[in-house]
Amino acid sequence: MAMQCVAVRRISGVRIGNRRSRRAFTLIELLVTVVVVGVLSSVALPNFLNFTERARYTEAASDLGKHKTSLVAFRQESGVFPGDRNIAAAPIGLENDWKTRGPFNSPYDYDSYANGSGCYVQVVFFGRNGLRDAAANAVLFQRPGTYTQVNAGGVVLGDDMVLSLGTQPVACQPSAV
C-alpha cells in the first residue's frame, strides 16, 4: 500500500492546510453530545420505569397464584375455605404459606363469605398506591380468574389486582379477625 503524505505549504509565513492541530472538543461538539444524551435518556427512562412496574405486577400475579394453590390445598384437606381475616393477615391455617405483603409493600387481602349456596373467595392485591380501589365485601367476579384494570362488567379496580375463585359449593369458616 502506498502511503499518502500531506504537505503543508507556507507562503510568505501563512500556513495553508489545517490551521491548528485538534487536541480537544469544541464547545459546540460538547453541547450537541449533551443534547443527544438528554434526548435518548428522556425516551429510555419512561420505558425502563414502565418495565419495572410491569415486573412488579407480574410478581404479584405469581404471588396470587401461590395463594390460590394454598387455598385449594386447604379446602381439599379440611373441606372448607379459611375464614375471612383483616387486611395483610394470613388466613388461619395458612400462616406459613401466605405472603401478606407484595411488591410496592402493598398488602394482600383475603376475603371469603357466604354467597347463596356456597362460599365466595377472592384475594385482592392493593397495587402501587397501597389502597384498596376495588369494592370491599362484594362479589366482584363470579368466574374464577385473575383480573386487573376494568372487566367487561364495568367493575373498576384502579391499580388493584383481584384473584377470584368464584363461589365454591362448600361452606366458609366463620370470619376470624
CATH number at residue 148: 3.30.700
pTM of the model: 0.71
Residue 107 lies in a domain: yes
Q: How many domains does the chain have?
A: 1
Residue 1 lies in a domain: no
Higher-scoring residue by pLDDT: 105, 10: 105
Residue 140 lies in a domain: yes
- Burial of residue 101 (CB within 10 Å: 0-12, 13-18, 19+) is middle
Residue 145 zone, left/alpha/beta (φ > 0; ψ -120 to 50; rest): left
Question: How many angstroms separate the CA atoms of 53 and 48, rounded?
Answer: 9
Residue 88 lies in a domain: yes
Residue 14 lies in a domain: no
Residue 151 has pLDDT above 60, yes or no: no
Residue 53 lies in a domain: yes
Residue 15 lies in a domain: no
Residue 5 lies in a domain: no
The number of beta carbons lying within 10 Å of the beta carbon of residue 39 is 10
Q: What is the pLDDT of residues 81-107, one digit of tens each?
A: 988 888 888 998 888 889 999 999 999
- Domain range for 115 is 30-168
Maximum pairwise Cα distance, the chain: 108
Q: What is the pLDDT of residues 36-64, one digit of tens each?
A: 999 988 888 877 777 888 899 999 999 99
